[in-house]
A and B are shown apart, each in its own frame.
Chain A
């Protein structure tokens, strides 16, 4: 059983471009969580999704950021018109149920130049 897979591992974007980060949860996991880790900081919750539903997006910036978890395929975190302050590591975690252990992926490190 493969772990949580995130791709790409590293992503470089110029200011104003779009960034799309993908997360494939572990097999049998239908709950996905996205976290952002700014340099020298801990992880901050962004959004919690179940298949086709956003459950809690209280940590998502109000503009330019969106997330989805379609019925088929990976969860996608989309950042439009990236700015330098979006440079961070973005981690995805998945769990089979909302109150069971979540497993983290290796993260996508986004650099905005």
Chain B
């Protein structure tokens, strides 16, 4: 079975500060892991995905995530937050890259000026 836990439903950072959004997964098979961003009243946009290649994955808008098997984690980071990063972020896992996603409950990122 696959599942995802996102710690912290709300995260607030200052503009220019480090962004760290946490995601832990459980999977009975080698996972495929994803981060999506959702702006208010919009659909989901893919930020990045891990598909068993490099463990450090770079995505769009300066985001990256590192797959750590020993910690069953796939935390999302960005060195310097921008006001436009304010949105809700979802971590998701699938099996074999099949599009049946299991999503976490989401983390709302607030960026303070």
> What residues of chain A have their CB less than 8 Å away from a CB belonging to chain B?
4, 31, 33, 35, 40-45, 48, 56, 91, 93, 95, 98-99, 101-102, 104-107, 109
Contacts and interface: CB of A to CB of B under 8 A. Distances in A.
Contacts of B97: 99
A31 B99 contact: yes
Interface of B: 4, 6, 9, 36, 41-46, 49, 90, 92, 96-106
B103 A105 contact: no
A93 B100 CA distance: 10
Contact of B104 (A42, A101, A105): A42
Contacts of B49: 101
The secondary-structure label for the interface of chain A is strand
Nearest to A33: B99
A56 B6 CA distance: 26
Contacts of B44: 43, 91, 93, 104
A44 B98 contact: no
B101 A106 contact: no
B98 A43 contact: no
A31 B100 CA distance: 11
A35 B43 CA distance: 11
B103 A106 contact: no
10 contacts: A42-B4, A43-B44, A43-B92, A43-B103, A44-B103, A45-B101, A48-B100, A95-B99, A104-B45, A106-B43
A35 B36 CA distance: 14
Contacts, number: 56
A95 B90 CA distance: 19
B100 A42 contact: no
A42 B96 contact: no
A99 B103 CA distance: 17
A91 B101 CA distance: 12
Nearest to B9: A40
B99 A93 contact: yes
A61 B105 CA distance: 20
B14 to A, nearest CB: 25
